[in-house]
A and B are shown apart, each in its own frame.
Chain A
Amino acid sequence: KNSAKKVLAAGAVVCVESEIRGEVTIGARTVVHPKARIIAEAGPIVIGEGNLIEEQALIINSYPENIAPDSEGVEPKTMTIGINNVFEVGCMSQAMKIGDNNVIESKADLGRNMILTSGCIIGACCQVNTCEVIPENTVIFGSGCQRRVQTERPQPQTLQLDFLMKILPNYHHMKKTVKTTSAVTPAKN
Chain B
Amino acid sequence: MASLLQPDRVLYLVHGEKKIRSPLSTLYFCRYCSELRSLECVSHEVDSHYCPSCLENMPSAEAKLKKNRCANCFDCPCCMHTLSTRATNIPAPLPDDPSKTTMKKAYYLACGFCRWTSRDVGMADKSVASGGWQEPDNPHTQRINKLIEYYQQLAQREKLERDRKKLARRRPYMPLAFSEKYGLGTRLQRQRPGAPITSLAGLSLKEGEDQKEINIEPAQALDEVEPLPEDCYTRPINLPEVTSLRQRLLQPDFQPAGASQLHPKHKHLLIKRSLRCRKCEHNLSKPEFNPTSIKFKIQLVAECQVLLTLTNPVENITHVTLVGCEEGDPEDINSTAKVMVPTKELVLAGKDAAADYDELAEPQDFQDDPDVVAFRKSNKIGFFIKVVPQREEDGDVTVSFKIRHDFRNLAAPIRPSEEGDAPTEAIWLTHHVELSLGPIIA
Question: A residues near B, CB below 8 A?
Answer: 121, 123, 138-139, 141-142, 146-152, 154
How far, in whole Å, are A121 and B120 apart by their CA atoms in the complex? 16
How far, in whole Å, are A46 and B414 apart by their CA atoms in the complex? 83
Distance (whole angstroms) from the CB of A179 to the closest CB of chain B? 38
Distance (whole angstroms) from the CB of A185 to the closest CB of chain B? 43
Q: Closest B residue to A148 by CB, please name it.
A: B240
Q: Known contacts being A142-B79, A148-B78, A148-B259, is A121 close to B240, with CB within 8 Å?
A: no
Q: Which residues of A contact B115 (CB under 8 A)?
A: 121, 139, 141, 150, 154
- 19 inter-chain pairs at a CB distance below 8 angstroms, sorted by A residue, are A121-B115, A123-B114, A141-B113, A141-B114, A141-B115, A142-B79, A146-B79, A146-B114, A147-B240, A148-B114, A148-B240, A149-B240, A150-B115, A150-B116, A151-B117, A151-B119, A151-B120, A152-B117, A152-B119
Q: Which residues of A contact B78 (CB under 8 A)?
A: 148
Q: Which residues of B contact A148 (CB under 8 A)?
A: 78, 114, 116, 240, 259
Determine the interface band of chain B, counting residues with CB < 8 A from chain A.
10 to 19
Contact pattern, B 72-89, Cβ under 8 Å of A = 1, otherwise 0: 000000110000000000
Is chain B's interface secondary structure helix, strand, loop, or mixed overall?
loop
Q: Closest B residue to A147 by CB, please name it.
A: B240
A142 partner, pick from B114, B117, B119, beta carbons under 8 A: B114
Q: Closest B residue to A138 by CB, please name it.
A: B240
Question: B residues near A, CB below 8 A?
Answer: 78-79, 113-117, 119-120, 240, 259
Q: Which residues of B contact A142 (CB under 8 A)?
A: 79, 113-114
Q: Known contacts being A141-B79, A142-B79, is A150 close to B120, with CB within 8 Å?
A: yes
Is chain A's interface secondary structure helix, strand, loop, or mixed overall?
strand
Having A146-B79, A148-B240, A151-B119, one finds 20 other A-B pairs with CB under 8 Å, namely: A121-B115, A123-B113, A123-B114, A138-B240, A139-B114, A139-B115, A141-B113, A141-B114, A141-B115, A142-B113, A142-B114, A146-B114, A148-B78, A149-B240, A150-B116, A150-B120, A151-B120, A152-B117, A152-B119, A154-B115
Distance (whole angstroms) from the CB of A142 to the closest CB of chain B? 7
Q: Which residues of A contact B113 (CB under 8 A)?
A: 123, 141-142
How far, in whole Å, are A148 and B262 apart by their CA atoms in the complex? 13
How far, in whole Å, are A34 and B240 apart by their CA atoms in the complex? 38
How far, in whole Å, are A121 and B114 apart by their CA atoms in the complex? 9
The residue in A121, A150, A152, A154 that gathers the most chain B C-beta atoms within 10 A of its C-beta is: A150
Shortest beta-carbon contacts, A-B, top 4: A149-B240, A141-B114, A139-B115, A150-B115
Q: Closest A residue to B122 by CB, please name it.
A: A151
Q: Which residues of B contact A123 (CB under 8 A)?
A: 113-114
Q: Closest A residue to B114 by CB, please name it.
A: A141
How far, in whole Å, are A152 and B78 apart by their CA atoms in the complex? 16
Q: Which residues of A contact B116 (CB under 8 A)?
A: 148, 150
Distance (whole angstroms) from the CB of B241 to the closest CB of chain A? 8
Q: Which residues of A contact B120 (CB under 8 A)?
A: 150-151
Q: Which residues of B contact A147 (CB under 8 A)?
A: 240
How far, in whole Å, are A148 and B259 apart by their CA atoms in the complex? 10
